Structure 1
Amino acid sequence: MSAAKRRFGRSLKPFRRPWLWAGLWVLAVAVVVIGSLVPAHDLPKVPAGFDKLEHSSAYAVLAAGAVQLFSRRLSWGFVCVILVLMGIGLEYLQAQMGLGRMLDRQDALANTLGVLLGLATAFTPWRDALLRLDRRL
């Protein structure tokens, strides 16, 4: 077995289709990044405070996806730290890029709470739901 295959297999759970699931997760991360950098005038209007729910939900899905993909707790922790830093960085970029958006610390906090919520799925029976689905398909 090649070193690259062993290394790839060490972090991910033993999926039959690891590239599919990892690719979909990376696509979800890209959607969040792109959605975070869309100019303000292109965004739909939402009720006050609802955007915080959007932020926390998006980051919860990304973190829960990491729990579904990766088998090691160290990997979960690393990905969650990266997601928190990504959320903070995107808030900073929104303010710097002149997109009609501003840095909002409450959005960064909502992102972080979403990451923690997604990470909490590691302690539920749904922790291996994607692995079970992959084996059935």
Structure 2
Amino acid sequence: MNGRNATLDLNLLVYFEALFIEGQVSRAADRVQLSQPAMSLALKRLREMFDDPLFVHTSQGMVPTTRAYELIEPVRNMLQQSRELLEQRKTFDPGEAAGTFLLVATDYVASLVLPGIIQRLQVAAPRAHVGNRGVR
């Protein structure tokens, strides 16, 4: 990557992949829901970032350069990892919870509310332990 551009915009990699697949700026723009001028600007930024033309115009459309062919697999891997990272939003499963949960409450609240909460947690999270500490 060109040293002049120390930050990476992951959207540019999405656009690079679309350009690689489609072979035309307008079709790549449609694919990622950008305007054609915005995709042209993205291609300009990609060219600067990688210090390579990446795609050359021919009668068959835009053909990837050798550098583009070298980049496509790592770019696809990075995009896949990014997608997987975003899909890892896991919800809390009390049945899988283990460890000690500390519940803090005043004596009054603890006497009214905590017995019911602790009883429900013991059923829903059998591997979890509940502790409490009164606050005055």
Q: Which category describes the TM-score, using the shorter chain as reference length? A: under 0.3
Structure showing greater relative contact order (alpha-carbon pairs closer than 8 Å, 6 or more residues apart): 1
Structure number with the higher helix fraction is: 1
TM-score between both structures, scaled by the size of structure 2: 0.26
TM-score between both structures, scaled by the size of structure 1: 0.26
